[in-house]
Amino acid sequence: MSSPSYSSYLGRPAYCAMALVLLLTLLCITFPAYLRNPVSVASCFTGADVRAAAAQPAASASAALVADDGGRRPDQLSILVGVHTMPKKHSRRHLIRMAYAVQQTAALRGAARVDVRFALCARPMPAEHGAFVALERRAYGDVLLFNCTENAEDGKTYTYFADLPAMLGAAGGEGRPRPYDYVMKVDDDTYLRLDALVKTLRRAPREDMYYGVGLPFMDRKSPPFMLGMGDALSWDLVQWIATSDMVRRKAKGVEDVTTGNWLNEGGKAKNRVNIFPRMYDYKSAEAKDFLEDTIGVHQLKEDIRWAHTLAHFNATYGDLRPSREGSS
Ligand SMILES: *[C@@H]1O[C@H](CO)[C@@H](O)[C@H](O)[C@H]1NC(C)=O
Ligand SMILES: *[C@@H]1O[C@H](CO)[C@@H](O)[C@H](O)[C@H]1NC(C)=O
């Protein structure tokens, strides 16, 4: 993520007031389908009928672009992919939403349930961005709003992992069914090939597992940390992060190194799955600069890089001649 420059908002009290109203509205109105246990969210209401009325629009939204059939087979591998982005980047979110929606094929669903969600901090939330976020939550149900302030190194990754168990109704650990086997954090300038991701995770240990592109590159077997372009943890480690005092004290810092530090200091993540070099930085549009067994491409800062990458992986094939009657 690029560093936001929000200083201009800070001096404008009108925005603060609007943002607060909006935040409260956002926290209470929508009940996206992925919150299978709505209790934690519903606690911001006391009136059940308000709750029911508020839940209506989200429940009836078709959310066709979002793979969410409400549940999963007990034996099905499940992965939460959290795309870390900022409220103002609506256009990028929609590009990413579609780039993953077209990958939700029958074959992929047969192999795993992959829920792609956008992880946003609730602050700052100026009204013009809040409107998009609120509509997206209702229309697609794929936005997770965290109680944090957008700032790359101010602990957003900590908040993401630490707040998820409660957000998914799975706080409390032992005995609770895990909502996901793995939780991934991915940048909004990374494109993942979900089938390749799933293939590698199917073979990975389900417990005490840390997945990504390890650094330093020499340490292939047990890299001290995985690059933040896309790293994943098994659910038990997410729960550990949510409950560890040590981790909470060390929440801030360069996010990927920091995640590695928590695990190293806590004696966690005995299982490290290093996918180097299969997730890598974009170099050019030329075919030779994409690997055949690519899991992810990073540094897709500009839309044109997305265009090249999507074209290379055949996500955008089809002609662009003007539509005719009877064709779309
Ligand atoms: C959000 O976090 C702040 C501390 O960072 C806390 O004071 C506040 O109560 C939290 N809000 C909610 C809705 O959890
Ligand atoms: C894209 O499609 C072409 C033509 O069907 C095929 O030759 C090529 O291997 C595909 N590329 C990828 C990356 O799947």
Which ligand places an atom closest to the C-alpha of 316?
2
Q: Label residue 221 exposed, middle or buried (CB < 10 Å: 0-12, 13-18, 19+).
A: exposed
User: What is the reported pTM?
Assistant: 0.79
Q: Please give the Cα distance from 101 to 80 (Å, whole number).
A: 14
For residues 161 and 184, is the Cβ–Cβ distance under 8 A? Answer: no
Which pLDDT does position 52 carry in this prediction?
35
CATH class of the region 61-312: alpha beta
Ligand 2 probe mutation, 314, 316, 317, 319, most atoms within 8 A of CB: 314
Which pLDDT does position 328 carry in this prediction?
59
313 ligand 2 Cβ < 6 A: yes
Which ligand places an atom closest to the C-alpha of 40?
1
Q: Please give the Cα distance from 282 to 7 (Å, whole number).
A: 31
| Residues 144-175: tens digit of each pLDDT | 999 999 976 789 999 999 999 999 988 876 66
User: From ligand 1's centre to the CA of 29, what distance in Å?
Assistant: 18
Domain borders along the chain are 13-55, 61-312
| Residues 204-241: tens digit of each pLDDT | 999 999 999 999 888 888 999 999 999 999 999 999 99
**Going along 188-315, which residue ranges are E strands?**
191-192, 209-212, 214-215, 225-226, 230-234, 271-274, 279-281, 296-298
For residues 321 and 328, is the Cβ–Cβ distance under 8 A? Answer: no
Q: How much is the average pLDDT of 175-193?
A: 94
Which pLDDT does position 324 carry in this prediction?
85
